[in-house]
Every structure is written in C-alpha cells, then in structure tokens.
Amino acid sequence: MHVEAQAIVCAVRAHGEHGAIVRAFTPTDGMLAGYVRGGRSRRLRPILVPGNLVRADFRARTDEQLPALTVELTESRASMLSEALPVAAIEWTTALTATALPEVQPYPRLYAALDGVLAAVVAAPAARAWAAALVRYELLLLSELGFGLDLSACVAGGAREDLAYVSPKSGGAVSRTAGEGYRDRLLPLPPFLTDGGAGDWQDIIDGFRLTGHFLERDLLHGRAAEILAARERLVDRLKRVTG
C-alpha cells in the first residue's frame, strides 16, 4: 500500500513514547490512518495540528498493516490557536470528520467542503463569515453517509413554498401551513438552507440545532458521542457572540 496525497489532518493520538497515530483526510482515498515516527517531537507537533494541510506519504507492506506516515506541511491553520471561537470550530469539524467517516472510502465532495470551511475560518475569524458554511457541512456529511434530509418539499403535502420546519422523525421539510398545529414538535428550518445566503444569527443557531439532532440520532453513538462535547463548546460560544 502506498498513497501519496494532499491531506487534512483530522485527529492525532499519542502512541508509544514518541510516536503518534494520525487520521488524515485525502481527496481521492478518503480517511487514512498512519503511524508517524517522532510525531510528538518538537519538530512535528506544529505540523500535526488538526486542520493543517499536509503532503502525506502512507506506506505499508500489507493492507492489514498500519501504514507508516511521513508528512510535510503545506498550509498551517494553527494561526487561529489563540482565538477561542475559530479553535472551537476547527476542533469540532475535524473531530466530526475523523469520527464519522469510515477509512479508505473516497468522499471528494466532503473533502472539498471541509477544506473550504477550514479556509473560511482562518480567513475570517468573525463567525458570521463561516458558521452557516459549517452547518451546511454537517448536512452534507449526513447526506454522504446515507442520512440525508429532504428539504426540497413538504412531506405532508408536497408544497415547495414556505418551508418552515423539519420533522425530527423523517428528516423531511414541513410547510408553515402544514406544521402550524405541530410546531412545538418540529425543528425550525432556517431559510438559508433552502434559499442560500449566510442567514442571521438566530437562523444559524437553529441550523446547528437541526443538524445536531440528526448527528446525535443517526451517527454519533456510544464512544463516538464523546466528541459532542466539542460541538457543545462551539455552539455555546456562538450563542455568547450573538448576545
């Protein structure tokens, strides 16, 4: 096995006295894990930061063997490590990706979307510039893994206009008229998810509430649910920003 590719570092775990096991997301081979010799060294620690873009070289003698991984920094996103909100966004997005995706399965749309979200976080630390994109990324991840929401038409009557809610059971959109008597049991559907645009702060918070429901229900179970603490920190900080 030999894969040489650009990759996004998504998770790093200490292994042994000096090494690290790294999960990195590649455009054509998907999520790959590899052992980095000296991964905890002073030289490599600044490179092996979740969110960083690296040139990765995975090599293994057999498919069953954990590949040896060498990395070369392409783009550092560690400049945001002093900013609490961007750090929370990068921490959550990379942890979600590393946890949810199976290994060695390509997800080129997800790779492009993740790279775009991380670039936006670094380019514009103000959350309004990237928060809606992060919600869309979570929706795309659900879709790519087979848990997509149908936001194109009302599940109660087929209407395509004035979609205002989402059924927490079916994941289908519900029009304002059809959902009027049940809105306490439905999830708000932020307009930016159907009409485009960035959305206002309340729409963004509603978007995180929507995607969070389905991430918890369909994807993040057992030990995987432990990463939801990172998401809670991010959403709490976003709420404080919105006032």
Q: For the chain, which domains are there?
A: 2-76 (2.40.50.140), 80-242 (1.20.1440.120)
Give residue 5's pLDDT.
96
Determine the Cα–Cα distance for residues 222 and 203; give it in Å rounded to an integer: 30
In terms of pLDDT, which residue wins out, 243 or 69?
69
Report, as an integer, the average pLDDT of 94-122. 96
Q: Which amino acid is at 177?
A: T
pLDDT tens-digit map of 28-65 = 999 999 999 999 999 999 999 999 999 999 999 987 88
Residue 199, pLDDT above cutoff 90:
no
Nearest to 100 by CA among 147, 166, 60: 147
Write down the pLDDT at residue 127: 86
Q: What residues contact 235, with CB distance under 8 A and at least 6 apart?
A: 205, 208, 212
What percent of the chain lies above the pLDDT cut of 70? 99
Confidence of residue 125 (pLDDT cuts 50, 70, 90): low
- pLDDT tens, 67-91? 999 999 999 987 777 788 999 999 9
Work out the angle at residue 93's Cα, subtended by the Cα atoms of residues 20 and 168, and round it to the nearest 5 degrees.
135
Write out the DSSP string of 193-218.
HHH-S---HHHHHHHHHHHHHHIIII
| Residue 200: partners with Cβ closer than 8 Å, 6 or more residues away | none
Tokens, residue 2: 């030999």
Decide if 90 contacts 51 (C-beta within 8 A).
yes
Task: Report which DSSP code applies to 66.
Answer: P
The pLDDT of residue 198: 78
* Res. 126: pLDDT tops 80: no
Pairing relationship of beta strands 163-166 and 187-188 according to DSSP bridges: antiparallel
> Which pLDDT belongs to residue 68?
96
| pLDDT tens digits, 136-167 | 999 999 999 999 999 999 999 899 999 999 99
Q: According to the model, what pLDDT value does residue 63 have?
A: 79
